[in-house]
Structure 1
């Protein structure tokens, strides 16, 4: 943001804040093979009802828009329904489509970051996100998708000729962050501060070799079985018994790669009733049998397998 004379300089909190509010448009002299390309990006603050865009009357062809409210609020009519877009919310839309986003005179102001993108992948991903979220998304304090846009705006401001492939890669990064947000996932999905949840996770990680039931794990958490399952799924993205199988298979894979133990012994040491059950679960999660995994590891090799959802 431009410095006001006489005011102490403030350290920007977000990458885009070291620059002033601007809008950049991109056009390409040659046909681009990129299936996700930047068409426009900007940081704006509007206070006039002249700010009004109809998604069926825009002349710039097919595309998609993400617009994140930094302060104030705006609105979007999507189909037959109208939504407010307040601070830390964003809207998604594709072009052309039946929507209108606008500033109303009942609002004080609307400050936002936006990106406009083109390409087959852009349309496909945006439609998928709208299907998952609806047109308006409340982010709360989960701001990683917005930070992707903030960093990209900062780069565009600071570079005269940004590399189109790097820009496209950052747009895909934005999509991945949106997917991560949609899945209720963060970079450390099991590091939640909830003591009951942490007690349950520690119990699973230390007692995976025992014949554990959902009742056993819920008891450690001090919650009813149904409530515990809901909390666990919400915080980690998987069910408790799926997490138990994940831990067991990861432990079994280490024994396969680093020891000569038989499948029957490994099954018993990792909580499986027998080797047949181990083989079935291992193949379902890893895509190969335990013996095939062992053969590709080489005996004694330190190989770590992580099962992700």
Structure 2
């Protein structure tokens, strides 16, 4: 039976596409924090997919949430960082690192098409193909670099094929769905929305919705919702005398501690500090769009 595990391969042969490492793990430590331009193991590409929980990717000065169903593609080195943040459940991921000019070329194609974060259903050919690769190593004990190279290249062709299909998805109908979702989150940010509830409102598969939203807005739906909640909280802090806890509740944050943590991540101040501090530019509202 397949278990959480990781496998690495080291070759001097750089003439072919090679598997550098592959694994399945649960992450629950703040020590999981990788700055891509600082890593000693340069010269490879990464695909990491979220099975459950959530991580964070910082890419080109953007902070992108990585919830279930999302995966990121990176080239090492690059100006990026990915890490775990405290949450109720671990960040469970499936990942693969590859070496070779062909891997780098294909990453360029897909990232140009979809950006650094892609969305795939866990039952999709891409993710099922990644499980198959892991079983090839973990259960079938295949370690020959040529056999693995063939399997990896087959998986990358699936990546390219599904990326090309994803590029054709933003039709007028899907654009209208994105606008409907954005309107829902702008107007009803205080409600306990989830990916499932938003997708149900739109009558669309949640993974398909996430993929469309990410492609259209370059952020995830829940990150967009969080932006709207923080905007509303900032306005209430500056223009009302409501208690901090009540403001958090009115803006959709399930607990005062979570409200404080998210607010500090955005403003580098607690809600109380922001309310009391004489800011150089005392805006009544700040927008993150």
- TM-score (ref. length: structure 2): 0.55
Question: 1:141-181 CA deviation, whole Å, 9 max, x = no partner?
Answer: 66211111100100101244422222111211122111221
2:129 is matched with 148
Quick one: distance in 1 between partners of 2:70 and 2:33? Answer: 18
Quick one: distance in 2 between partners of 1:47 and 1:60? Answer: 23
Quick one: distance in 2 between partners of 1:131 and 1:142? Answer: 24
Aligned residue for 1:117, secondary structure, equals: strand
Kindly report which structure 2 residues correspond to 1:1-309, keeping only aligned pairs within 5 A, or say none: 18-28=1-11, 30-34=12-16, 36-106=17-87, 108-140=89-121, 143-184=124-165
Quick one: distance in 2 between partners of 1:123 and 1:48? Answer: 30
Runs of 4+ residues over 3 Å off in structure 1: none
- Compute the displacement of 1:107 (Å): 5.5
Question: 1:68-119 CA deviation, whole Å, 9 max, x = no partner?
Answer: 1111111100111011111111000000000000001146211011000011
Question: 1:263-297 CA deviation, whole Å, 9 max, x = no partner?
Answer: xxxxxxxxxxxxxxxxxxxxxxxxxxxxxxxxxxx
- Backbone CA RMSD of aligned residues: 1.8
Question: 1:202-253 CA deviation, whole Å, 9 max, x = no partner?
Answer: xxxxxxxxxxxxxxxxxxxxxxxxxxxxxxxxxxxxxxxxxxxxxxxxxxxx
Aligned residue for 2:105, secondary structure, equals: helix
- TM-score (ref. length: structure 1): 0.51
Could you tell me whether the CA contact under 8 Å between 1:142 and 1:181 is conserved in 2? no
2:271 is matched with none
Q: Which 10-residue stretch deviates more, 158-167 or 58-67?
A: 158-167
Could you tell me whether the CA contact under 8 Å between 2:19 and 2:148 is conserved in 1? yes
Q: How many residue pairs were aligned?
A: 167
Could you tell me whether the CA contact under 8 Å between 2:136 and 2:142 is conserved in 1? no
Quick one: distance in 2 between partners of 1:63 and 1:141? Answer: 24
Query: Between Structure 1 and Structure 2, whose CA radius of gyration is higher?
Result: 1
Could you tell me whether the CA contact under 8 Å between 1:152 and 1:170 is conserved in 2? yes
**Which ranges in structure 1 are unaligned for 5 or more consecutive residues?**
1-17, 186-309
